[in-house]
Structure 1
């Protein structure tokens, strides 16, 4: 069933093959190119509109100025002056026409008045075949009742319009082509990375948790996602490894108290009729003690699971750890004196933390229990609170045998004990509870060599 599910998952992953046209890089590049085309078109259109408006006003000024200048010419000399001006217009931009009072042609290149022309001396559009869009003209009746017509053919505006339109189309086509090419070039790399991520993910989904997603080192969004997935896979691997080893550890660690319990019960049952009541009571008390040991270890396992489930994170609050350490110092001072151990506290002023007070107290108590357990009579256990390198440090230090550097990470797991632990009673769950509290609070838990002894440090960011 598991193999079939893995094959089905791999088959589904294999079916979803990313395409270049669907990659975010390709789409963004093409989108940016399209937006750039729209911006360029808008900009060029604005430039053309401004230039056309300027040229129309220039055309109005030209025809109006020409009409005003010709008004000062003597009526008898006006035909010759029009011929002279017309001959001097080599570009054919300005055209003149002189008509009788009845509109009969007299002189110039304009042979007939446009239909409906206004003789008010004001510029208007010259909409006639053969003239460019934007042409302007002025018609005015002279004092001798003749009609003077001056027109301006907007050839410059037409040429500018052709240049702008050609530039517009070519620039739009070039921008889109470059956008498509860049989209392809920029999309191929991420596509290959996504494909590599997909292949590795299929292997991870098939159960190979040793695989890790590739990192490019550029720190982009794919690297961020891959780093997060790699961290998640590492955590899952550790959890699975711990789950696999819990059964063996539980069986190994609980075998002794279970055997003791069975032996006491068996002896009680065998000697039930022959043994005095006082002896039977001793056997029952030993059986109860063995049962209490078993229940205590199961409660510790349940406590670790409860802390890891983050069910208590709703009780997080801002607190000053100094009063908590002072309270625990007072509680454990008498215990330390009974063992012949000197317990001291050095608490410096530190910023407040965000923590669950009960869980933090439980972690510190487990550290104190371990420190007192492994410190011989006449030894010294120090409790410390200080602020260094931007972190609040809660320190528990003893001068016992310590823990070797190769065992420091291993002893944080359930039922794992150091090389000196077999000489001391315990289940190997105290540091596992401390590690669970550190995980729940996102604290750093580290062990340092106190020379001699061990220093366990909980490091936390200020609130």
Structure 2
């Protein structure tokens, strides 16, 4: 009972059963059409022959009389043609049989020129016949017919053949349904086994695809890509958690040490104000860290797309470059801007300003004193490219691919204040705008290229 219930609730079983029923229905429809077409064709041919023969005999009677008709019927009965199927009967007005091969039959009263099927006795044998009956004005009756026994035998043979074919189709449908079910189950079990192993914590498991290119292979590839992304996100989350713990532990430790030092001092009230201000500054750093994480999460969620407007990049990028110009001059750096034409993009003004600020902040922080930072905006038919290039130390080639990971920092830059979220924010915002981000070696320095679709 439980097995039956399992089959009933199995989509594989329902698909296989549906496949089998569809095959049987198709065979039944084709068989019915074939049978009806064959039997109908035979019946139409018989009716056509009866009509032609009857018309010819009636014309003979009309032109030459009953004697000529009687002689013609006798000739037809003795010409050794259609001996097993032909039926002719000519009866006089008084009911006498003039000529014919029916030994027992009853002519329906009132019917003339009508096609009927009757059980008759022909040459001493009972049979079913199709008859065309004509009554002449003088009372004579002409019957032209065909014995249907051969046709009925042929129809039974056709029905027997169709029944045998239907039985074979039933067996083939059952076998095909079982084969179809086995193939589906094998593919689905592979997917189920892999997803179960992943759910159990084995994130490196993948569905074997092989050389197949069917729909299951497409699904398997999609699931594998999803699992790759899940594994990457899990690794990222693990790294982010470790980085957050490290970045929180350090400032919290400094805050705790400063407060303990103030309490141990001989003049705690004098030291308290400075320690409190130090603690506030460190807490502000932590708040900034969480604000950046929230900004990345908001960008990755796509919630800000409803605030997109058509923005002129000359205005947005120009304002940010002008804002950072004093900071660059204080560091002895040369900050320049070049814009071709009047490019526009569909974007969120605040997010676009944020990524420009992050790029310029990184460039001024890491390029070094006296470096040169160039900002260029140019476009083509489909995209607008924003480039920020510096001639500082840049990023080693082996670390460029990881530069957009959260909290990733080079060992050489860990002494500088920061948290390694700047390029992560840039990557998330660019992805939100359906753009692309590329980090290139400027030799020397780093070139950041952002491509955004034109508005």
The reply on whether 1:152 has 2:146 as its aligned counterpart is yes
Q: How does 1:414-453 map to 2 (within 5 A)?
A: 414-453=406-445
Q: Which residue of 2 aligns with 1:6?
A: none
The reply on whether 1:51 has 2:41 as its aligned counterpart is yes
Q: Distance in 2 between matches of 1:316 and 1:43?
A: 63
C-alpha displacement of 1:381: 2.4
The reply on whether 1:105 has 2:97 as its aligned counterpart is yes
The reply on whether 1:230 has 2:224 as its aligned counterpart is yes
Q: 2:85 aligns with which of 79, 88, 93?
A: 93
Q: Which residue of 2 aligns with 1:13?
A: none
Q: Which has the higher strand share?
A: 2
Q: 1:125 to 1:274 in 2, by over 3 A?
A: closer
C-alpha displacement of 1:209: 0.9
Q: 1:46 to 1:66 in 2, by over 3 A?
A: same
Partners of 1:341 and 1:376 within 8 A in 2: no
TM-score, scaled relative to structure 2? 0.81
Partners of 2:388 and 2:447 within 8 A in 1: yes
Partners of 1:326 and 1:345 within 8 A in 2: no
CA deviations over 1:31-61 (Å, ceiling 9, x no partner): 5423532441354256336525632541442
Q: Whose RCO is larger (CA < 8 A, sep 6+)?
A: 1
Q: Which residue of 2 aligns with 1:11?
A: none
RMSD: 3.7
Partners of 1:117 and 1:139 within 8 A in 2: no
Q: Distance in 1 between matches of 2:118 and 2:436?
A: 85
Q: Which residue of 1 aligns with 2:3?
A: none
- SS of residue in 1 equivalent to 2:57: helix
C-alpha displacement of 1:415: 2.1
- SS of residue in 1 equivalent to 2:400: coil
Q: Which residue of 2 aligns with 1:345?
A: 338
Q: Which residue of 2 aligns with 1:123?
A: 114
Q: What is the total number of aligned residue pairs between the two structures?
A: 443
Q: 1:199 aligns with which of 189, 193, 196?
A: 193
Q: Distance in 2 between matches of 1:349 and 1:157?
A: 89
Q: 1:39 to 1:352 in 2, by over 3 A?
A: farther
Q: 1:193 to 1:349 in 2, by over 3 A?
A: farther
C-alpha displacement of 1:191: 2.4
CA deviations over 1:304-323 (Å, ceiling 9, x no partner): 33434444344355656565
C-alpha displacement of 1:287: 3.7
C-alpha displacement of 1:352: 4.3
Q: 2:237 aligns with which of 243, 254, 258?
A: 243
Q: 1:346 to 1:189 in 2, by over 3 A?
A: farther
Q: Distance in 1 between matches of 2:144 and 2:290?
A: 109
Q: 1:373 to 1:28 in 2, by over 3 A?
A: farther
C-alpha displacement of 1:344: 1.9
Q: Which residue of 2 aligns with 1:254?
A: 248
Unaligned runs of 5+ in 1: 1-15
TM-score, scaled relative to structure 1? 0.80
Q: Distance in 2 between matches of 1:297 and 1:461?
A: 30
Higher mean Cα deviation, 194-203 or 104-113?
A: 104-113
Q: Distance in 2 between matches of 1:51 and 1:162?
A: 15
Q: Distance in 1 between matches of 2:284 and 2:218?
A: 48
C-alpha displacement of 1:172: 3.9
- SS of residue in 1 equivalent to 2:414: helix
Q: How does 1:362-381 map to 2 (within 5 A)?
A: 362-381=354-373
Partners of 2:89 and 2:97 within 8 A in 1: yes
Q: Distance in 2 between matches of 1:405 and 1:411?
A: 10
- SS of residue in 2 equivalent to 1:208: coil
- SS of residue in 2 equivalent to 1:458: strand
Q: How does 1:254-403 map to 2 (within 5 A)?
A: 254-271=248-265, 273=267, 282-316=274-308, 323-339=315-331, 340-347=333-340, 352-353=345-346, 355-387=347-379, 392-403=384-395
Q: 1:111 to 1:263 in 2, by over 3 A?
A: closer
